[in-house]
Amino acid sequence: MKAGAARTFDVEALRAQFPGLQTTVHGRPLAYLDSASTAQKPAAVLEAIEGVYGGACANVHRGVHTPSARATAAFEHARERVRAFLGAAAREEIIFTHGATSALNLVASAYGGAHVGPEDQVIVSEMEHHSNLVPWQLLCARVGAQLVPWRVEDDGRLELAGLELALARAPRARVVAVTHASNSLGFTNDIAAICRVAHGAGAVVVVDGAQAVAHGPVDVQALGCDFYALSGHKLYGPTGVGALYGRRALLEATPPWQGGGEMILDVELERATYNALPYKFEAGTPNIAGAIGLGAAIDWIERTGLAALAAHERGLLARARARLAELEGVRLVGPQRAVDVDASAPILSLVLEGVHPHDVGTVLDHEGVAVRTGHHCTQPLLRRLGLSATVRASLAVYNTDDELERLARGLARAREMFT
């Protein structure tokens, strides 16, 4: 890190910590602009995972021998790292899952199954990733509840007035499900304000935080949310692991989601007594290496400096938006108002006039630039905007201005080729 009043990045030194970036694609250095899908992993995370499997590998919570005790200590230390990172009140409020999708399914199936009935409603925003939509569809179909949409505005943003309108149509709303930051457009929502409105109507708030936690501080107690889900792999950590924060009182009132080892205290043939939090929701052998790797990713982020990381990304995003605005035929989809741009996650979603997004993505790939194309698991949102797909460039701490220039040149080349 460079010294100074404003802490900035030595980006090249930081990039050297990411083995995945030290590669070429079609003979060109990789410009990885798809971190909203999955982020690259720093060496510290890879070393933590190797340490689990390369040493005396053992299961957690179930052995009196030293390797098991060490594994258990490292696993529970990772839980504490997640707790502190999210600002949760107690480690019992942090449940390890297979990812944000798993966490959201847990809430919908277990909490929703116990607390949402046939006369009730679930409000889901039109901005949601399918992972925070389809589980609620399944719940409503199973119990006979009604799913009520919270519609986005014409530019794709959510307004509190839209939530108030949805609540007026849903007098028995039990849940409001909303994303903290849009994975396809970058809009960041005011979760604290949403919670105040939803709680005033008697609904709990379930937040998909997968796209927010890597780009700025999150304090679940300050936000006031009831559940908050995250994925490790978008947080510079491993795939196949994530976490769910839940308010303790709500978790206590929620039945187990899955049955098996570790989530029980006592089992008879006819009945079982369930374990205490958080283990009630962690049936079977967990992803031990994944959880420890997630803890290592959080350690790496905090050593790097989350505030400095966010400032670097905001600068990149502002310069990228300015550069792409110069290109003929490029239309940015998503935040347009200054207040929304300033709060946006580092995501650029765009269409190139006359060129299909998949063709754009192919051209960019041959230039060594990795972006995402498609509907980004937000089909209702894109349909609302009259689109079937976009090109999405998503930024992270390791990206550079040179990579943004390569993106711009690649877009210009795609337009030349197809128009």
Q: Are strands 372-374 and 330-333 parallel, antiparallel or unpaired?
A: unpaired
Residue for token pair 């063709």: 359
Q: Which amino acid is at 99?
A: G
Integer Cα distance of 32 and 398 in angstroms: 9
Tens of each residue's pLDDT in the chain, 419 residues:
233 334 457 999 999 999 999 999 999 999 999 999 999 999 999 999 999 999 889 999 988 999 999 999 999 999 999 999 999 999 999 999 999 999 999 999 999 999 999 999 999 999 999 999 999 999 999 999 999 999 999 999 999 999 999 999 999 999 999 999 999 999 999 999 999 999 999 999 999 999 999 999 999 999 999 999 999 999 999 999 999 999 999 999 999 999 999 999 999 999 999 999 999 999 999 999 999 999 999 999 999 999 999 999 999 999 999 999 999 999 999 999 999 999 999 999 999 999 999 999 999 999 999 999 999 999 999 999 999 999 999 999 999 999 999 999 999 999 999 98
Q: Euclidean distance between the first and final Cα of the chain, in Å?
A: 44
Q: Please check whether residue 340 is in contact with residue 366, taking contact to mean a CB–CB distance below 8 angstroms.
A: no
Strands (E), 30-140: 31-32, 94-97, 121-125
Q: Which of these, 390, 378, 385, 289, lies nearest to 348 by C-alpha position?
A: 390
Find the helix packing angle between 288-304 and 306-325, rounded to 10°. Answer: 80
At 89, phi and psi to the nearest 5? -75, -30
The 8-class DSSP code of residue 314 comes to: H
Mapping DSSP to helix (H, G, I), strand (E, B) and coil, where does residue 31 land? strand
Q: Which of these, 221, 216, 171, lies nearest to 189 by C-alpha position?
A: 216
The whole-number pLDDT of residue 63 equals: 84
Integer Cα distance of 206 and 168 in angstroms: 19
Cis peptide before 118 (omega within 30 of 0): no
297: exposed, middle or buried (C-beta count within 10 Å: 0-12, 13-18, 19+)?
Answer: buried
Report residue 350 CA to chain centroid gap: 21
Give Cα separations from 288 to 13, 71, 133, 146, 148 (angstroms). Answer: 30, 8, 28, 38, 38
Buried b (16+ CB within 10 A) or exposed e, 59-88: bbbeeeeeebeebbebbbebbebbbebbeb
CATH no. of 48-301: 3.40.640.10
The whole-number pLDDT of residue 8 equals: 59
Integer Cα distance of 218 and 210 in angstroms: 11
CATH no. of 11-32+305-418: 3.90.1150.10
pTM for the model: 0.96
The answer to whether residue 225 is catalytic is no
Q: Please check whether residue 9 is in contact with residue 312, taking contact to mean a CB–CB distance below 8 angstroms.
A: yes
Integer Cα distance of 24 and 139 in angstroms: 45
Structure tokens at 253: 């009132």
The domains of the chain are located at: 11-32+305-418, 48-301
The vertex-263 CA angle with 262 and 265, nearest 5°, equals 85
Mapping DSSP to helix (H, G, I), strand (E, B) and coil, where does residue 186 land? coil
Q: Which of these, 187, 131, 122, 196, lies nearest to 160 by C-alpha position?
A: 196
Residue for token pair 């030194």: 13
Give Cα separations from 272 to 83, 252, 262, 269 (angstroms). Answer: 29, 16, 12, 8
The 8-class DSSP code of residue 99 comes to: S
Q: Please check whether residue 226 is in contact with residue 250, taking contact to mean a CB–CB distance below 8 angstroms.
A: yes
Residue for token pair 């060496």: 43
The whole-number pLDDT of residue 44 equals: 98
Catalytic residue selected from 57, 140, 225, 377: 377
Task: For CA atoms 21, 22, 23, 29, give the dihedral sign.
Answer: positive
**CB count in 10 Å sphere of residue 9:** 21
